[in-house]
Amino acid sequence: MSIVSLGVDLGKNSCSVVRVDAAGGVVIRRSVRRQTLIHYVTKLPACVIAMEAC
Domain count, the chain: 1
Q: Confidence class of residue 53 from pLDDT cuts 50, 70 and 90?
A: confident
Cα angle 9, 51, 11 (rounded to 5 degrees) comes to: 30
Which pairing describes strands 3-9 and 48-52: parallel, antiparallel, or unpaired?
A: parallel
| pLDDT score at 3 | 87
Cβ–Cβ under 8 Å, residues 34 and 14: yes
pLDDT tens per residue, range 3-52? 899 999 999 999 999 999 999 999 999 999 999 999 999 998 899 999 99
The residue range of the domain holding 24 is 3-52
Which pairing describes strands 3-9 and 14-21: parallel, antiparallel, or unpaired?
A: antiparallel
Cβ–Cβ under 8 Å, residues 48 and 4: yes
> What is the CATH classification number for the domain harbouring 23?
3.30.420.300
Q: Confidence class of residue 1 from pLDDT cuts 50, 70 and 90?
A: low
